[in-house]
Amino acid sequence: MDAEAAKFIGAGLATLPLLGAGIGIGNVFGNYLAGALRNPSAAASQQQNLLLGFAFCEATGLFGLVVALVLIFAV
């Protein structure tokens, strides 16, 4: 296999967390909405968990993007 092709395959595999982050963000917001509709008085106390989950999902996606860019341009 050509080294250039292997570099692009590795970069593509590194972006898989971007897909996982998108699914994770959807699950976090969906579960928060379902819980808020069932018990509106508890929604305010769960908002901090919602934002923390969103931050972790976004960080995972950004780390995958950075790794992919490093594999493409620095190696």
* Residues sharing a CB contact under 8 Å with residue 68, sequence separation 6 or more, in sequence order: 11, 12, 14, 15
3-class secondary structure, 75: coil
The domain spans of the chain are 3-73
Claim: this prediction has a pTM higher than 0.75: no
Q: Per-residue pLDDT tens, the chain, 75 aa: give them.
A: 788 888 888 888 877 777 776 677 777 778 888 888 898 888 888 888 888 878 887 888 788 888 888 888 886
DSSP E strands: which ranges in the chain?
A: none
For residue 74, what is the DSSP state?
T
CATH code for the structural domain at 3-73: 1.20.20.10
Q: Whole-angstrom Cα distance, residue 58 to residue 8?
A: 23
Side chain identity at 31, as an amino acid letter? Answer: N
